[in-house]
């Protein structure tokens, strides 16, 4: 019965292919440059190869499939105990068990983010939803400005 209700609810949401971005950093390969751990900056000021910290950043991408909902800022929800809560997320995603590890990684890695329709987001919370066994997760997200 719960699975039937979830299937019916899924009809009302837009399914998006979301691109997740993960940075990996390696120390600058230019002779005399690299990361200065004392100053947390690069050693060679005029180096054009690395970023401000002396690292070369390589971005890895991964595709997620999720239902995306842009909540109405005037909508409210009822929480356990009867309290009424305003919707504060910029975006809400509903993901399956198979994408949980990816979204959790985005949440824990400082510069990781995902992109939907040219707007960047970072997850602020991940909550399991379902009765009985976990079949999907609700991910609240806020907009993010990547550097």
Give 50-84 pLDDT, tens digit per residue: 888 888 889 999 988 888 888 766 666 555 555 56
What is the model's pLDDT at position 118? Answer: 87
Q: Does the structure show a pLDDT above 70 at 141?
A: yes
What is the model's pLDDT at position 39? Answer: 86
Q: Is-contact 92 52, C-beta < 8 A?
A: no
- pLDDT digit string, tens, across residues 5-53: 666 555 555 566 789 999 988 988 888 888 888 888 888 888 888 888 8
- pLDDT digit string, tens, across residues 81-127: 555 655 678 888 888 888 899 999 999 998 899 998 888 999 999 98
What is the model's pLDDT at position 79? Answer: 56
pTM of the entire structure? 0.69
Structure tokens at 9: 């609810």
What is the model's pLDDT at position 105? Answer: 92
The burial class, CB within 10 Å (0-12 / 13-18 / 19+), for 104 is: middle
In angstroms, the Cα distances linking 106 to 62, 113, 139 are 11, 6, 11
The H or E element that residue 103 is part of is: helix 100-108
Report the Cα–Cα distance between both ends of the chain, in Å, rounded.
Answer: 46
Q: Does the structure show a pLDDT above 60 at 146?
A: yes
The position carrying tokens 């292919």 is 17
How many alpha carbons lie under 13 Å from residue 86 in its C-beta half-sphere? Answer: 4
């Amino acid at each position: 019965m719960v699975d039937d209700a979830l299937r019916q609810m899924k009809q009302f949401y837009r399914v998006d292919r979301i691109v997740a971005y993960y940075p990996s950093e390696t120390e600058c390969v230019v002779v005399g440059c690299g990361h200065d751990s004392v100053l947390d900056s690069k050693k060679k000021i005029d180096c054009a190869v690395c970023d401000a910290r002396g690292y070369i950043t390589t971005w890895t991408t991964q595709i997620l499939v999720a239902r995306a909902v842009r909540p109405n800022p005037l909508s409210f929800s009822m929480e356990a105990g009867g309290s009424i809560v305003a919707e504060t997320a910029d975006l809400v995603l509903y993901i399956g068990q198979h994408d949980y590890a990816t979204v959790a990684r985005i949440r824990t890695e400082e510069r990781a983010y995902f992109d939907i329709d040219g707007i960047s987001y970072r997850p602020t919370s991940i909550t399991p939803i379902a009765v009985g066994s976990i079949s999907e997760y609700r991910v609240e997200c806020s907009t993010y400005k990547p550097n």
